Amino acid sequence: MAHGWKNTSRESAITPETLYLNRRRLMAGGAAALGAGLVPGPGAAGPFDAATDPNSLNDITTYNNYYEFGLGKSDPSRYASALTTSPWTITVDGLVEDPGDYDLREILNGKTIEDRIYRLRCVEAWSMVIPWQGVELRDILADLRPLDGARYVHFETVLRPDEMRLPVGVIDWPYVESLRLDEARHPLTLLATGLYGRDLPNQNGAPIRLVVPWKYGFKSIKSIRRITFSETPIRTSWMKSAPNEYGYYANVNPQVDHPRWSQSSERVIGAGIFGNRRQTEMFNGYGDEVAGLYAGMDLRENF
């Protein structure tokens, strides 16, 4: 599938998600017929595909957290269109072979854009299933060549006072996040450039955002403008904002409640007027793939 990094999508506005899913089903069927060990289609469980059908494009693009554009769930879909996403430069610095400013096109040049259907579990105890397109972060990191001493990678969201609302009092702007380098290199960790076969909508973090499906949604930082390699972790935005509520790892864990609410179950967005709850799974259901990253660690202590 042709996929541009900037807003060049030509897909029909008429039930685009249905077209997208039908195409994927055909592709998955074709792959199975050829006996290729490829990603299973929607509805089939697999590490790269959440076990249920994706949420609608409307759910995914109108119920958002992007606090730079306001704290309400519908604020990002109203205000994030003001963000200029092209051209886009990412500053790479810290413990890295070739620090500097890179054009996003340069960074993505020659990279395989993959389909990944992941469940996004917000720390606020709701979830939705999103069909992303993007590149594995490890492919980008390999090109940037962190130095031997690097053990962590930090990310910063663009800060544009002219284009953002930047509400005062919750987050100390710019929004920052961080991963241990082995978490960053895990094949599930994605830099998303699109969803539903179209370029990433601004409210979802255009032109490029992190997706770490086994961690609470706030780790999946949007509109990345800086990548920094370091020997040490940082205090992330939510750790600074409420250190007793948010930890560095923030792995989805139904056994560790938020101080103000239970994390044992989650509200499924778009499940109809009766609503629908599902039991929250350890590591958001990705434990077979990622539990090894935390072998020997106390996940209550290291929340």
Ligand X SMILES: Nc1nc2c(c(=O)[nH]1)N[C@H]1C(S)=C(S)[C@@H](COP(=O)(O)O)O[C@H]1N2
Please choose, out of 51-59, 63-71, 89-97, 142-150, the segment that lies near ligand X by the rule CB under 6 A. Answer: 63-71
Q: Rule CB under 6 A: is residue 28 a binding residue for ligand X?
A: no
Three-state secondary structure call for residue 169: coil
Closest distance to ligand X from the beta carbon of 65 (Å) = 4
- In the complex, which residues of this chain contact Mo ion (CB under 5 A)? 65, 122, 217-218
Which ranges of the chain would DSSP assign to H, the alpha helix? Answer: 16-33, 57-62, 75-79, 104-108, 137-144, 181-184, 237-241, 287-290
The answer to whether 143 touches 110, Cβ cutoff 8 Å, is no
* Residue 10 CB neighbour total at 10 angstroms: 7
Residue 256, C-beta contacts closer than 8 angstroms, at least 6 positions apart: 263, 299, 300, 303
The span of 59-67, 107-115, 145-153, 279-287 binding ligand X (CB under 6 A) equals 59-67
Q: Closest separation between CB of residue 29 and ligand X, Å?
A: 29
Closest residue to ligand X: CB criterion: 217
**Rounded distance between C-alpha atoms, residue 56 and residue 234, angstroms:** 35
For residue 182, give the 3-state DSSP assignment.
helix
Regarding 175 and contact with ligand X (CB under 6 A), the answer is yes
CA dihedral (146, 149, 151, 157) positive or negative: negative
Cβ nearer to Mo ion, comparing 70 with 217: 217
The residue (of 68 and 136) whose beta carbon lies closer to ligand X is 68
From the list 17, 68, 163, 183, which residue makes contact with ligand X (rule: CB under 6 A)?
Answer: 68
Pull the structure tokens for residue 205: 């973090």
Q: How far is CA 201 from CA 140, 195, 258, 262, 296, in A?
A: 22, 8, 30, 31, 39
Q: What, of ligand X, Mo ion, none, does residue 201 touch, CB below 5 to 8 Å by kind?
A: none
157 binds ligand X (CB under 6 A): yes
Give least dist CB 216 to Mo ion, A.
Answer: 6
Structure tokens at 106: 């340069």
The verdict on 65 binding ligand X (CB under 6 A) reads: yes
Picked from ligand X, Mo ion, none, the partner binding residue 221 (CB below 5 to 8 A depending on kind) is ligand X
- Region binding ligand X by CB under 6 A among candidate stretches 27-35, 60-68, 88-96, 180-188: 60-68
- Please give the residue ranges that form the binding site for ligand X (CB under 6 A): 64-68, 120, 122, 157, 175, 204-205, 217-218, 220-222
